[in-house]
Copies of this chain bind each other. A is one copy, B any other.
Amino acid sequence: MKERPIGVFDSGVGGLTVVHALREACPHESIVYFGDTGRYPYGVRSKRVIVEFSRQLALFLEREQCKFLIIACNTASALAIDETRQTVDVEVIGVIEPGALGAVQATRNNHIGVIGTEATINSSSYVSAIHALKPDAQVTALACPLFVALAEEGYSGKEATRLVAEEYLAPLRDAGVDTLVLGCTHYPLLKSDIAEVMGPNVTLIDSATEVARVVGDRLRLRNHHSETHETTSYRYFVSDTPEKFARVGKRFLGHDVAPVTLIDLEDLHHLHDTTISKQ
């Protein structure tokens, strides 16, 4: 068990921020990553579709012998974690609870802001997770749909991004939050733009770092952590555009992204059909 890989899945390239944090927090662990580049982004879709896609990716990673699954995508964590847990036998964690925990530990004035995709914010998952830990916390949540496109286009530091950030974030700044959860894997790429608008007194919480810490703790607790560097490996699977994934992914991972293997979407559908019909 100890030397089996950790599985990480995401709607695309953004979840590589989780892989980056995981490599720092758990350098002995092998990682298998699936980026659903053939169907991203998830943040604009319904729960129904996000559940369907998430179950397929979880089944794929379970077949790859993963000992633990991380849903790196905030949207899938927010909308599909229960259904994903019901689909596979292996333990599954999302980024919402770790992000909420980080925010609750950081806040001093008890007022936390959350930004994310439309689907994540509409699900109220962060609000529920924060209230489960701290029922009296005040939470203000806002969708920032343009941030994903701006991050992917490398628009950090540009005036257009500052204007969009100003428009989106002004209500959060004016509300007086002292902690802001970056509830989408893409947002850390716009961290400096967001920090500029929010000001120096607001702590930004990156769910990627938080989930990596929780996973490391949990593997040691279960005595499932890898103890050797010798078998450590990293493998990446995508459902489209492997070259672009490797190129853009380098910005998120901070390392070369290799090897990348392309998986046909038809195969994901069939994997799902086969498993469901067996149940």
Q: Which A residues form the contact surface with B (CB < 8 A)?
A: 37-40, 44-46, 48-49, 52, 145-146, 148-150, 152-153, 155, 158-161, 163-164, 167, 239-241, 265-266, 269, 273
> Which residues of B are found within 8 Å of A241, using beta-carbon distances?
44-46
Query: Which residue of chain B is the closest to A38 with respect to CB atoms?
Result: B49
Does B163 contact A265, Cβ atoms closer than 8 Å? no
Which of B38, B152, B153, B160 is A160 in contact with, Cβ under 8 Å?
A: B160
Which of B38, B40, B145, B265 is A149 in contact with, Cβ under 8 Å?
A: B145
> Which residues of B are found within 8 Å of A155, using beta-carbon distances?
146
The CA of A236 and the CA of B40, in the complex, are separated in Å by 23
**Chief secondary structure at chain A's binding surface:** helix
Query: Which residue of chain B is the closest to A150 with respect to CB atoms?
Result: B146
> Which residues of B are found within 8 Å of A153, using beta-carbon distances?
145-146
The CA of A79 and the CA of B239, in the complex, are separated in Å by 18
Does B149 contact A160, Cβ atoms closer than 8 Å? no
> Which residues of B are found within 8 Å of A167, using beta-carbon distances?
160
A248 to chain B, nearest CB (A): 10
The CA of A67 and the CA of B108, in the complex, are separated in Å by 65
Most buried by B among A145, A149, A161: A149
The CA of A165 and the CA of B46, in the complex, are separated in Å by 31
> Which residues of B are found within 8 Å of A273, using beta-carbon distances?
266
Does B145 contact A48, Cβ atoms closer than 8 Å? no
Does A266 contact B265, Cβ atoms closer than 8 Å? no
The CA of A45 and the CA of B239, in the complex, are separated in Å by 10
Does A240 contact B146, Cβ atoms closer than 8 Å? no
A211 to chain B, nearest CB (A): 26
Sorted nearest first, the 7 A-B pairs with minimum C-beta distance are A149-B149, A160-B163, A160-B160, A269-B269, A49-B240, A38-B49, A160-B164
Query: Which residue of chain B is the closest to A243 with respect to CB atoms?
Result: B46
Query: Which residue of chain B is the closest to A242 with respect to CB atoms?
Result: B46
